[in-house]
Amino acid sequence: MLFSSLSFLYYFLPCVLILYFLAPKKWKNSVLLLSSLFFYAWGEPKYVLLMLLAILCGYLFALLIARYRGRRLSRLFLLLSVSISAAILGFFKYADFFIQNFNAVTGLSIPLLKIALPIGISFYTFQLISYTVDVYRGVPAQRSFIDLAAYISLFPQLIAGPIVRYSQIAEQLSSRRHSWDKAALGIRRFTLGLGKKVLIANAMGQLCEIFRASQDKSVLFFWLYAIANMLHIYFDFSGYSDMAIGLGKLFGFDFPENFNYPYISRSVTEFWRRWHISLGSWFRDYVYIPMGGNRVSKPRWLLNILVVWLLTGFWHGAAWNFLVWGLFFAVFLILEKLWLLRRLEKAPVLGRVYVLFTVMLSFIIFSAENMGQALSSLGSLFGAGGLPLLSAEFLYYLKSYALLLLIGVIGATPLPKVLLQRLGGSPGGEKLRNLLELPALLLILALSTAYLVDGSFNPFLYFRF
Amino acid sequence: MGLKTKNILLALLMAGALLAGFLCCLLLPDREFSQSERRKLASMPELSAENLLSGAFAEDFETYVQDQFPLREGFRGLKALTETYALGKLDNNGLYLAEGHLSKLDYPLNEKMLDHAAERFRYLYDTYLAGKDMNIYLAVIPDKNVFLAGPSGRLSYDYEALVSAVREKADYMEYIDLLSVLSLEDYYRTDSHWRQERLLPVAERLAGAMGVELPQAEYKENSLGTPFYGVYSGQSALPVSPDTLVYLTCDAMDGCTVTGYGSGKAEALPMYDMDKGQGRDPYELFLSGAQPVIIIENPKAETGRELIIFRDSYASSLAPLLAGAYAKITLVDIRYVQSAALDRFVDFGAQDVLFLYSSTLLNNSLALR
């Protein structure tokens, strides 16, 4: 089920809210667990069992790790637990990729498994890995299977993150505070996220689809696509994260932030501190630092960066373009760490242009169906392929989407937030802001509903994650 | 108002909105048909283990909720207004409003569709027309986009290029130009079709080119009496004033008989079907709308000449104006009858033959069978 669907907004969510707030405290996690399983099973019932099995493994191994803490067995159980989670992810997500490439290299024709990728598998396996590792590192293991299963399968963050670590919400699982203030904060955040997804991201996604289907491409149309693609991915992903964080607050949880205006970064290093923060920090804490981080020899340090970013790319999808996407960032991050970062710090405007340009190119690789298409699109941005500079369709869609593009560009910066804060700085302004907030939120909900009722373009980007 | 009160109000109202939506979804009765969109609405999908396990139920349920959502028309209107006026989008779901007219983008020129249409025409020619004493004509009706899309900055193809391509592929037909006798005002504002009361110059152009004379008749303009909201009106969901549907009558039409084969058997039809005029698509008033074969016979005709028109819906309002010049007009719509089965309804002999198709149909010809 998608947050940006009528069945979620007007059937699932009201039912869950009623059940959750009517349930006594000790039943709340059970309500969340059952709701989350229903949420997951809605579109893909068969994989609920796989998720429950993975959770059961994590639950049992964590208990064993805790029981044998300080002994070699504890490490063995950790290894087994991580291996099982990685094997589940590897089998369901990467098996066909490896078979395909093995066939290509050897000339064999081993049949593909053609397994449909279970939605959210990359998120919940990473959470399970972090849970058992955290327990190994000293965090107390969760004794209640229901509480652990509720955490792993928690529907607000199940299919598109953020990757919430067990240590971040362990206490909240057993004891969390519900308040009107927190609920209002959650609803506000959820509604803004819904608007970002339905009103901006979907429109940008539609522009990208129009471009892909066009027979009237031109160099500037490629640029328009590249910009729309950047906005699509950002508003889709950050909108989803906003909705997840908002829903979390409604149910009393505090999820970590996942995006912090990444497009205003002055370096790629900074960009990755602001983009999909929960994934970046996961790789830092569970891969990069255990490999030695930067406290090793320079060649080993560079290798560590390379490995982490290849894995980061590969996490996003089982295809070469995702690996190349990760490698692309590894190259820039290494360049920055070796000499570019200090220079960029002295030229913030140039830094921002450099980040936007680099990220724009990277998302063309990210969104391509294969590397051939990615290279061809990159070339076309710079006039390769004999394309004309302008085309009728480019001009038409530029005019048609101009205002939305402008809203997207401004919305991707902290400017609206700063303006609202300034407005709230004076007593009159604060009154006005308070007065307008509720109508504005209701308008966003009504508009999002209207777009969903009309059956507007509403893609789900995370089916390859 | 304190912060606490404001937050309580905000949480209650927003959650209340979702809850109200939920209750309305549950309690309001389902509708079968959308009059404005002219389509059947989705019904509650069948709840079965197979449907649930395959994920089909979830998918169909979303479509069902979309179709049956409370205040659906209002929400569609809100989206259309936002797209058109607030965001300045040049079209909403391919529909656009310009110079007071609603229209639908028809872009780009589709060579494959033109080839398909030409192939179907060639089949008709080879099977029924070739080698007979027949005059064969082609007239392409310019869709109103020809007058509206380009000038209003919408995507449009070159109409002349479409005509040239079709003429080249159908070089066995004599071409009759209609562009010069039409303008934007000859089309309904809210519908794709042309207005019968403005078609006399078109009828004269066709009759002249085919060598027949229209009788000098005094046409009476009759109004349907109820507002005509054309097909684009409901599809666009924009608030626009309705058209007036006018149909012409004259003495020459009085003695005409109309026979349709919609049910497979011959059936007497009115020239203007008043019941259909009050129905889902009032344009169906003209010759009762979609019919595979219609025969208009005019016993008062001064000549025994006959005409076969291979046509789309535009011809429904035009054919009555040609009825005075022919003893018999046979209208054939190969969207509703297989071309191979036409000899069951039509005796091909020494008639005039007119291929009369709109540019929209030619550019989207997959329905031609």
Is the pLDDT score of B80 beyond 80?
A: yes
Is the pLDDT score of B303 beyond 90?
A: no
Selected for mutation to probe chain A from B75, B85, B154 (highest A CB count within 10 Å) is B75
Q: Domain for residue A266, yes or no?
A: yes
> Among the three residues A154, A176, A198, which one is the final residue of a domain in this structure?
A176
The pLDDT of residue B215: 87
Q: Domain for residue B221, yes or no?
A: yes
Other residues' Cβ atoms within 10 Å of the Cβ of residue B57:
22
**Residue B1 banded pLDDT, cuts 50, 70, 90:** low
- What separation in angstroms does the CA of B168 have from each of B18, B129, B164, B175? 59, 18, 6, 10
Max intra-chain CA distance, chain A: 74
* Residue B21: domain span: 3-72
Burial of B52 (0-12, 13-18, 19+ CB in 10 A): middle
Cβ pairs A/B, distance under 8 A: 128
Percentage of chain B lying above the pLDDT 70 cut: 100
If you average pLDDT over residues B86-102, what whole number do you get? 96
Query: Do the chains contact at A10 and B21, CB–CB below 8 Å?
Result: yes
> Among the three residues A146, A176, A206, which one is the final residue of a domain in this structure?
A176
Both B22 and B68 in one domain: the answer is yes
CA distance A212 to A73: 54
| Nearest residue on chain A to B11, alpha-carbon basis | A184
Query: Do the chains contact at A454 and B75, CB–CB below 8 Å?
Result: yes
Is the pLDDT score of A462 beyond 80?
A: no
Give the one of B25, B52, B53 whose C-beta lies nearest to A10's C-beta.
B25
Is the pLDDT score of B217 beyond 90?
A: no
**Residue B265 banded pLDDT, cuts 50, 70, 90:** confident
Query: Do the chains contact at A399 and B55, CB–CB below 8 Å?
Result: no
Both A73 and A145 in one domain: the answer is yes
Within 13 A of A205's CA, how many CA atoms are on the CB side?
18
pLDDT, mean over chain B: 95
Q: Are B311 and B117 in contact (CB under 8 A)?
A: no
Let me know the angle formed at the C-alpha of A387 by A381 and A390, rounded to the nearest 5 degrees. 85
The pLDDT of residue B252: 82
Selected for mutation to probe chain B from A12, A15, A182, A454 (highest B CB count within 10 Å) is A454
Both A170 and A258 in one domain: the answer is no
Both A284 and A198 in one domain: the answer is yes
Both B62 and B106 in one domain: the answer is no
CA distance A52 to A60: 12
CA distance B295 to B346: 9
Segment A401-459, tens digit of pLDDT: 999 999 999 999 999 999 999 988 888 888 898 889 999 999 999 999 999 999 877 77
The pLDDT of residue A237: 96
Query: Do the chains contact at A42 and B21, CB–CB below 8 Å?
Result: no
Both B320 and B177 in one domain: the answer is yes
Query: Do the chains contact at A215 and B108, CB–CB below 8 Å?
Result: yes
Closest CA to A401 of A262, A240, A221: A221
| Nearest residue on chain B to A42, alpha-carbon basis | B58
Counted domains in chain B:
2
Cis peptide leading into residue B108 (ω within 30°): yes
If you average pLDDT over residues B257-261, what whole number do you get? 95
Cis peptide leading into residue B151 (ω within 30°): no
Percentage of chain A lying above the pLDDT 70 cut: 99
**Residue B302 banded pLDDT, cuts 50, 70, 90:** confident
* Residue A348: domain span: 182-453
Q: Are B357 and B367 in contact (CB under 8 A)?
A: no
Both B26 and B115 in one domain: the answer is no
**Residue B142 banded pLDDT, cuts 50, 70, 90:** very high
Both B51 and B125 in one domain: the answer is no
CA distance B343 to A86: 69
The pLDDT of residue B203: 97
Burial of A159 (0-12, 13-18, 19+ CB in 10 A): buried
If you average pLDDT over residues A114-140, what whole number do you get? 94
- What separation in angstroms does the CA of B133 have from each of A28, B11, B136, B308? 85, 80, 10, 13
Both B254 and B346 in one domain: the answer is yes
DSSP H/E element including A99? helix A95-106
Segment A215-268, tens digit of pLDDT: 999 999 999 999 999 999 999 999 999 999 999 999 999 999 999 999 999 999
Q: Domain for residue A460, yes or no?
A: no
A404 chain-B contacts, CB cut-off 8 A: 87, 89
Model pTM score: 0.93
B237 chain-A contacts, CB cut-off 8 A: 454
Segment A300-312, tens digit of pLDDT: 999 999 999 999 9
More confident residue, A91 or A430: A91
**Residue A151 banded pLDDT, cuts 50, 70, 90:** very high
**Residue A91 banded pLDDT, cuts 50, 70, 90:** very high
Is the pLDDT score of B330 beyond 80?
A: yes
Segment A24-67, tens digit of pLDDT: 999 999 999 999 999 999 977 889 999 999 999 999 999 999 99
The pLDDT of residue A463: 65
Is the pLDDT score of A465 beyond 70?
A: no
Is the pLDDT score of A148 beyond 90?
A: yes
Tokens 């560590």 belong to which residue? Answer: A304
| Nearest residue on chain B to A394, alpha-carbon basis | B155
Q: Domain for residue B57, yes or no?
A: yes
If you average pLDDT over residues B34-49, what whole number do you get? 91
Q: Are A438 and A184 in contact (CB under 8 A)?
A: no
Query: Do the chains contact at B10 and A187, CB–CB below 8 Å?
Result: yes
CA distance A43 to chain B (A): 5
Counted domains in chain A:
2
Closest CA to A166 of A139, A195, A194: A139
If you average pLDDT over residues B34-51, what whole number do you get? 91
The pLDDT of residue A375: 96
Query: Do the chains contact at B10 and A451, CB–CB below 8 Å?
Result: no
Query: Do the chains contact at A454 and B93, CB–CB below 8 Å?
Result: yes
**Residue A387 banded pLDDT, cuts 50, 70, 90:** very high
Coil vs helix vs strand at B260: strand
**Residue A464 banded pLDDT, cuts 50, 70, 90:** low
Both A81 and A202 in one domain: the answer is no
> Among the three residues A176, A205, A238, which one is the final residue of a domain in this structure?
A176
For residue A78, the Cα-to-chain-centroid distance in whole angstroms is 26
Other residues' Cβ atoms within 10 Å of the Cβ of residue B241:
11
CA distance A397 to chain B (A): 8
Both B181 and B288 in one domain: the answer is yes
A400 chain-B contacts, CB cut-off 8 A: 88-91
Length of chain B: 369
> Among the three residues B72, B90, B125, which one is the final residue of a domain in this structure?
B72
CA distance B294 to chain A (A): 37
**Residue A353 banded pLDDT, cuts 50, 70, 90:** very high
Other residues' Cβ atoms within 10 Å of the Cβ of residue A321:
23
Torsion on CA atoms B324, B317, B351, B269, rounded to nearest 10: -80
**Is residue A276 annotated as a catalytic residue, yes or no?**
no
